[in-house]
Amino acid sequence: MSSGGKGGKAGGEKSTSQSRSAKAGLQFPVGRIHRLLRKGHYAQRVGAGAPVYLAAVLEYLAAEILELAGNAARDNKKSRIIPRHLQLAIRNDEELNRLLGHVVISQGGVLPHIHGELLPAKS
């Protein structure tokens, strides 16, 4: 330990602070989620790993929904995702539909479906 301090980087290297999101390789804010967990009175204490895990789960769900919604927008020849594309993405995916089954998406519309008996008879 040639530098005068306790531990840390050797020599004259400056340590740059790195966010917990960057350490975990996430885009979602780990610090903000930790603060919201503490302020929300969900438990008396919040462990250090809980907000990282929750941020990772939320980021995964957001990426999954946005990827499917982007595909729906591209199928409709649109370059911007609208609530209709989110609705189509969620309702056409079995697992997301089960997770968000009771969620109403404003301006989402309904899935197109015509009952077989209402279709014209094949002759």
Query: What would the pLDDT profile of 4-13 be if each residue is shown by its tens digit?
Result: 556 666 666 7
Per-residue tokens: 118 = 């209402």
Confirm whether 122 is domain-assigned. no
For residue 104, how many other CB atoms are within 10 A of its CB?
Answer: 7
Per-residue tokens: 108 = 């989402």
Residues 6+ apart with CB under 8 A from 84: 107, 108, 109
The domain that holds 53 is classified in CATH as 1.10.20.10
Confirm whether 42 is domain-assigned. yes
Confirm whether 123 is domain-assigned. no
* Residue 79 near residue 73, CB atoms below 8 Å: yes
Enclosing H/E stretch for 108: none
Instruction: Point out the least confidently predicted range of 66-80, 81-95, 105-119.
Output: 105-119
- For residue 56, give the 3-state DSSP assignment: helix
Per-residue tokens: 74 = 């591209």
Mean pLDDT computed over every residue of the chain: 92
Confirm whether 61 is domain-assigned. yes
* Residue 84 near residue 106, CB atoms below 8 Å: no
Residue ranges making up the domain that contains 91: 20-109
Q: Please give the model's pTM, rounded to 2 decimal places.
A: 0.81
| Residue whose tokens read 């499917």 | 68
**How far is 97 from 87, CA to CA, in rounded Å?**
9
Q: How many domains does the chain have?
A: 1
